[in-house]
Structure 1
Amino acid sequence: MLFINTRPQARAQELSLALAQPDIQVLDFPLLELEACAWSTDLQGLYQQLPKASCVVVVSPSAVEFGMAGLQLSGLTLQDLQTLQWIAVGEKTAQALAGYGIQSHVPEVETSEGMLQIPLLQHLSSSSCVAFWRGQGGRQFMMETLQQQGVSILNFILYQRRCPTQTMQNFGQVVAQLQQHQSYSVLISSEASWLNWLALMQSHQRLFAHGHFMVLGERLFQLLLKAQKQQHLEFHLHLLSDLSTETILQCLRAMPRNA
């Protein structure tokens, strides 16, 4: 069984090591890398408004890293944010915040929809203000939903995503491996990673038919279903409720033995 781990390099190692079993061949192939956005007067202005927010939604461990670096550049300290409540997209992000002495609310399901079910967000008044520490293109659905409810948004775009240069250079070797397997599985954890995979596979669409795509959350699942219909692609879809090693392993074991 060939499993393609597309997580960013810093987040991939733990999963790849856990899945390195006799019946699973793991290929690390990051579809995203993260780069801090340049410091700007816009970011400075957002940080100055931050103490007035009701809560901060932090979308990844990287958002913690980049957000805290920006906080230092802004001249503010965590002491200035004592009245804020913090929401982490999942346990890894919560652990990163805990490293700064911050306790956070964590959703039961690690998706935008799951985060919107957190009681703190369910009971916001229309005069509330919510800050988002995020990357370019991430969590727009969540922000738009809150804005429709009248909530003000402080939109911190702290980093940008791109397909790693080495990934693009090595893709020919990956295609050769895909051709050697009757089927393969790919972890897709974001819309950005899916779009990068689509772009890379543009000249190899026949290989989609052998693919089992493991996707995080219902919204991303529906996005891939839509792509199947619009682009006439054939592939297998598997819905993940979270990105824990055990959940991914259970999904892999439920696939046909020749996967």
Structure 2
Amino acid sequence: MNPCNLRGRGVLVTRPAHQAEGLCRLIEAAGGRALRFPVLVIEPTRNPAAQTLLAEHWDLVYFVSPNAVTFAHAQVDDCQPWLHAERVAAVGGGTARALQATGRTADLAPSGRFESEEVMALPELARMDGQRVLIVRGEGGRGLMAETLRQRGARVSIAEVYRRRCPEVDPQPLLARWSEEVDWVTVTSEQILRNLMAILGPAGRERLLVTPLVVIAKRTAEAARSLGFRDVVLAGRASDEAILAALCCRPVPA
């Protein structure tokens, strides 16, 4: 028996369409209504420089997301071995599972909150003198990991294997039924948060800001509060199950 009962509450799921179904199924199994509204599109870069880097040998390869694994694996020639690396690091459980699906087990992954800060705190990465490190990410990703590892002595390269863009979406049908249907909003990155605000525009800003928001990263929670969100809930982890738990821990009043 599922201890969580969302009692028909509507939950806006803003993840890219190809990553949203797991969370949507959990919401619906808990008696909620998953309102699918993707505000981010992920697409491959097909970058020759990234393909060259992926074919080289590395002391450590770090994947920042499941998308990084998926799009990197798609760029590797079928005739080449997948990942020439002494060790592979994943930002969290979802990324580790994506790696496992390609036949490679993550050697390093944090056990707490799934963020780069947790990876950098791993004792195995405290000293990186002379090690060759490849960070696999999307275009314009955060530079904190690369900067930190360089300070620890690593020689860092970056392979950007996907890009993110904001889709063209008409928000009016959603805004017309917002007060009747949207009880919660979920966002899984700061870019998704900002895309959602841009898509809804001035007409939807106030409705969005007063709707309870669930996020999965501290920096996204801070950004949301700075933008004026009144009720921000930080999930315990970056998993679908943790997002559902955050939705269930404090039901929206009737």
With the shorter chain as reference, the TM-score category is 0.7 to 0.9
Whole-Å separation in 2 of the counterparts to 1:22 and 1:37: 37
Unaligned runs of 5+ in 2: 1-8
Between the aligned partners of 2:109 and 2:244, the Cα distance in structure 1 is 23
Q: Deviations over 1:39-69 (max 9, x none)?
A: 33x3344235x30x22111122222121122
Kept after mapping to 2: 8 A contact 1:112/1:139: no
AA partner of residue 184 (structure 1): D
Q: TM-score, normalised by structure 2?
A: 0.85
**Once structures 1 and 2 are overlaid, which stretch shifts more, 28-37 or 84-93?**
84-93
- Taking a change above 3 Å as real, the CA distance of residues 245 and 148 of structure 1, as seen in their structure-2 partners, is same
1:14 aligns with 2:13: no
> 1:114-125 alignment to 2 at 5 Å?
114-125=118-129
Regions of 4+ moved over 4 Å: none
Offset, 1:236: 0.9
Mapped to 1, the partners of 2:209 and 2:74 lie a distance apart of 44
Letter in 2 for 1:97: L
1:248 and 2:243 correspond: yes
Task: Determine whether 1:128 maps to 2:135.
Answer: no
Match status 1:235 vs 2:230: yes
More helix as a share of residues: 1
- Cα pair 2:47 2:160 within 8 Å, conserved: no
Identity of aligned residues (%): 27
Relative to the length of structure 1, the TM-score reads: 0.83
Contact 2:13 2:38 in 1 (8 A): yes
Q: Structure 1 stretches of 5 or more lacking a match?
A: 228-232
Structure 2 match to 1:193: 192
Indicate the residue corresponding to 1:91 in structure 2.
93
1:13 is displaced (CA, Å) by 0.7
> What is the RMSD computed on CA atoms of the aligned residues?
2.3
Aligned residues: 243
One-letter amino acid of the counterpart of residue 246, structure 1? E
Question: Per the alignment, do residues 185 and 257 of structure 1 end up closer, same or farther by CA in structure 2, a change over 3 Å counting?
Answer: closer
| Contact persistence 2:62–2:134 (CA under 8 A) | yes
Query: What CA deviation, in whole Å up to 9, does each residue of 1:134-157 have, x standing for no partner?
Result: 111334332233234343221111
Encode CA deviations 1:91-128: one digit per residue, 9 max, x unaligned.
22212211232110221121121221223223322x22
